[in-house]
Chains A and B, each alone.
Chain A
Amino acid sequence: MWAIEVEDVVKRFGEFVAVDRISFRVRRGEIFGLLGPNGAGKSTTIRILCGLLAPTSGRARVDGLDVVTQAEQVKRRIGYMSQRFSLYEDLTVEENVELFSGLYGVPRERRRQRQQEVLEMAGLTAWRRRLVRALPGGWKQRLALGCALVHEPPILFLDEPTSGVDPIARRQFWDMIVRLSEAGRTILVTTHYMDEAAYCHRLALMDRGRIVALDAPAALARSLASVAFLHLESSDLWESLKVLEREASVERVTLFGAGVHLRVRDPERARERIQRALHARGITISRLDVVAPSMEDVFVAVIEGGERNER
């Protein structure tokens, strides 16, 4: 049986279609990522699956339960971290955990133990009496995850759990997610960070309410076998951008870190032409290598591919 099944789900807000006939299924124990730009419909999809929003049409099941007709049972079996941090800042760490163990109806005899386990997992045992307001961002996120886990739900929905968190804290957070998945929990997670997509077993790329690609991260990258990516760093990045946009052998230029990523068909030929063109403008190249496509490259390519097919 699938942990999550989504069938032709549509969500309209008035005329606006936020989620446009999406379908996918998530296996038990899987880390399933929803990736997409702002307004793609990721949060809306998660809200529907948590029983917070009713879909306009289509069906969705979570742990075999219909999210519309059996919303209450669904809520017992899931943990949810909303995109915006939403624990009580004027309560202590411990009081927040207690509140949610009460709301989830954790049995009295298990409660103490569960609260301790959760605090330990989140690494917050020493800070249990601190007001949440006083915690750094990354810790708050771990606490939010802990609160979503007090009742040991088999399925977790995490909406951009690492937004606004420093890279080290993000790492720690993902380590926790991976461990949870290894322990058999199913995790549906959304993110803006392309590098985090690599932690997912499978990815659905969303754009304007639609799922434009769905596969394992590596497979998505492989589907771009016919193209290659070059990473360029130079003395004058802006001038280089202008030059390369007119260069026929380069299909696409995207900024990436301190340099740019160039999508090309034939890397060797393109490299020569780029070197020549930049040299003519007096620009020195400090780096120009073939690289593996980033998730961002994949994303852009897939979406552009989709648009080309539509035309």
Chain B
Amino acid sequence: MTWRRTWAMARKEFLHIRRDPRSLLLALAVPIVLLLLFGYALRLDVDRIPMLVFDADGSPQSRNLIARFAGSRFFDVVGMVEDPARIRREMDRQRCLLALVIPPDYSRRWLRGERASIQLILDGSDSNTASIALGYAEALLREHVGSWQMSVLRRATGVMVNPPVDVRVRVWYNSELRSRNYIVPGLIAIILMIIAALLASLTLAREWEMGTMEQLLSTPVRPSEIVLGKMLAFFAIGLLDMLIALLVGVVFFRVPLRGDPLLVLLMGGLFLFGALGWGVLISALVRSQVLAYQLGVLTSFLPAFLLSGFIFAIENMPPVVQAVTYLVPARYFIVILRGLFLKGVGVELLVGEVAFLIAYAAVVFGLATRCLQRRLA
């Protein structure tokens, strides 16, 4: 393998990119668009849950309870209704997700120390959000009852009593529990995968289609040099995309980057190498650009999106699908990125993931070279 021939290939590839500004624009716009789209639109946090209240009691006690909900950052009391039938209508129009129904005897029973009941109505069509909302509501009610019991106790005994258990939850690593902090690092993996699939899967297929491959192969250039030269050019674009994503994520979305930024770039480079190799491999197998492109999207972007733990937790997948995720490089890269971003860990804790990425890159590059060689005979 000589550097001169590899560089000649890479330079030519840079020229192709420069002569086709649309593809360059696409390569640079994709990360920004994706980041904005996901950063703003995809929010997994559940807060300000819109709720309606039907208060048939109208007592200080019932207003007290309503005030609790209204004062929580998780709930937003959007209205009071006079007629319980309206709850259904409003829920169907998606004006509220939760309704609180307080029966007429609520305060009477409460004051008598009897069991007072209330009703919570939830829109279960988005079960994920509904169960989170229910969890919040239950916690709020428990606290409400608890603090009342304490005050009763205090009045009866005249002593200050502390609650028997004081639970304080602290979340590590993503202390604000912001889903954005979780999503942006994962998004970097998705972006790199898309770029690789878009650019690399087309490249060899185009040479076969245009007939230029035959001319290339009549020169002493080796398949490994062709593959590496092409990858070098796209590698530069991929790194640029990664820098853009890092900047937007850290500066614009204020995602904390606790680890070493250089390490993030290094890991990104490693992942990118494998991803580009996969694109070139597809391109070596398929001689038509259309087919190569479709295969590229299907086999690199989709698994990275669905099977990497980016949004859908791998633990919740069926065992067969879980087994498949072990072959998805984005899975490992996302673990690395989240570790570097949120925990600030060093490579020593990510050895397994890094080893997989290295092995993946090596195998894919070897296969791409072999396939190109085999196409000749």
Contacts and interface: CB of A to CB of B under 8 A. Distances in A.
B11 A102 contact: yes
B25 to A, nearest CB: 16
Given A80-B218, A104-B220, A88 B377 contact: no
B4 A102 contact: yes
Chief secondary structure at chain B's binding surface: helix
B219 A103 contact: yes
Interface in B228-280: none
B215 A82 contact: yes
B11 A88 contact: no
A105 B4 contact: yes
B214 A103 contact: no
Contacts of B219: 75, 100, 103-104
Nearest to B214: A82
A105 B217 CA distance: 14
Contact of A52 (B4, B211, B218): B218
A100 B217 CA distance: 11
A75 B220 contact: yes
A248 interface: no
17 contacts: A47-B214, A52-B218, A53-B376, A54-B377, A75-B218, A80-B218, A82-B211, A86-B210, A87-B215, A90-B15, A91-B15, A91-B16, A95-B15, A102-B7, A102-B8, A103-B220, A105-B4
A49 B7 CA distance: 27
Interface string A166-195: 000000000000000000000000000000
Contact of B19 (A82, A86, A90, A103): A90
A82 B214 CA distance: 7
Contacts of B217: 52
A78 interface: yes
Nearest to B8: A102
Interface in B4-37: 4-5, 7-9, 11-12, 15-16, 19-20
B220 to A, nearest CB: 5
Nearest to B7: A102
A146 to B, nearest CB: 13
Given A52-B376, A54-B377, A80-B215, A103 B9 contact: yes
B211 A103 contact: no
A54 B375 CA distance: 12
Interface string A36-65: 000000000001001111100000000000
Interface in B154-190: none
Given A53-B377, A87-B215, A72 B19 contact: no
A53 B375 CA distance: 10
A287 to B, nearest CB: 43
Interface residue tally of chain B, by bracket? 20 to 34
Interface string A3-35: 000000000000000000000000000000000
Interface of A: 47, 50-54, 72, 75-76, 78, 80, 82, 84-88, 90-91, 95, 98-100, 102-105, 131
A72 B377 CA distance: 15
Q: Which of B12, B220, B221 has the most CB of A within 10 A?
A: B220
B211 A84 contact: yes
B102 to A, nearest CB: 73
Contact of B2 (A91, A98, A105): A105
Nearest to A73: B220
Given A82-B214, A90-B15, 18 more contacts: A50-B218, A53-B376, A53-B377, A72-B222, A80-B215, A86-B214, A88-B12, A88-B16, A91-B19, A95-B15, A102-B5, A102-B8, A103-B219, A103-B220, A103-B221, A104-B220, A105-B5, A131-B19
B212 interface: yes
Contacts of A53: 376-377
Contact of B218 (A54, A78, A90, A98): A78
A45 to B, nearest CB: 14
Contact of A76 (B16, B211, B220): B220
A67 to B, nearest CB: 12
Contacts of B11: 98-99, 102
Contacts of B214: 47, 52, 82, 84, 86
A87 B222 CA distance: 18
Contact of A99 (B2, B12, B19, B211): B12
Contact of B220 (A82, A86, A105): A105
B216 interface: yes
A230 to B, nearest CB: 43
A110 to B, nearest CB: 13
B210 A103 contact: no
A119 to B, nearest CB: 18
Contacts of B221: 103
B212 A90 contact: no
A54 B376 CA distance: 9
A171 B117 CA distance: 102
B2 to A, nearest CB: 7
A99 B16 CA distance: 12
B255 to A, nearest CB: 39
Contacts of A88: 12, 15-16, 212
A50 B4 CA distance: 22
Contacts of B15: 88, 90-91, 95
Contact of B12 (A51, A52, A84, A91): A91
A264 to B, nearest CB: 45
Given A88-B16, A88-B212, A99 B8 contact: yes
Nearest to A90: B19
A80 B137 CA distance: 77
Nearest to A75: B220
Nearest to A131: B19
A76 B5 CA distance: 13
